[in-house]
Amino acid sequence: MKSFDVPIIYRSPLISAIKRKRKEEDRLKKDFSPTLLDFGPVQIFLSRHFGFCYGVENAIEIAFRTIEENPGKRIFLLSEMIHNPHVNSDLKAHGVKFLQDTFGRQLIPFEEVNANDIVLIPAFGTTLEIEKILNQMGIHTELYDTTCPFVEKVWNRSQAIAKKDYSIIIHGKPQHEETRATFSHASLNAPSVVVKDMNQAIELSKYITGEKDPALFYEEFRQQYSEDFDISKHLQRIGVVNQTTMLASDTQAIADFLKNVMIKKYNLNAGTIEKHFADTRDTLCYATNDNQTAVSVMLQTSADLAIVVGGYNSSNTSHLVELCEAYFPTYFINDETKIISANEIHHYNFHAREELITSNFLPDKEKISILMTSGASCPDALVEGVIEKIINLFPAKKSIGELINLFSK
d(CA 20, CA 178): 31
**DSSP output for 354-401:** EEEEEES-S-S-SSEEEEEEE-TTS-HHHHHHHHHHHHTTSSS---HH
DSSP 347: E
CB 316 within 8 A of CB 375: yes
Length of the chain in terms of residues written: 409
Q: Which one, of 377, 371, 250, 248, lies nearest residue 312 by Cα?
A: 377
Q: Which one, of 308, 332, 311, lies nearest residue 377 by Cα?
A: 311
- Residues β-bridged to residue 238: 167, 277
**DSSP output for 292-333:** HHHHHHHTTS--SEEEEES-TT-HHHHHHHHHHHTTS-EEEE
CB 401 within 8 A of CB 77: no
Task: Render the burial of 149-170: b for 16+ CB within 10 Å, e for the rest.
Answer: ebbbbbbebbeebbeeebbbbb
3-state secondary structure of 29: coil
d(CA 187, CA 182): 8
CB 347 within 8 A of CB 331: yes
68 counts as catalytic: no
**Which of the following is catalytic: 80, 177, 178, 322?**
178
Element (H, E) at 193: strand 192-195
Write phi, then psi, for 118 (nearest 5 degrees). -110, 135
CB 332 within 8 A of CB 350: yes
Task: Render the burial of 39-73: b for 16+ CB within 10 Å, e for the rest.
Answer: bebbbbbbbbbbbbbbbbbbbbbbbbebbeeeeee
Catalytic site positions: 178
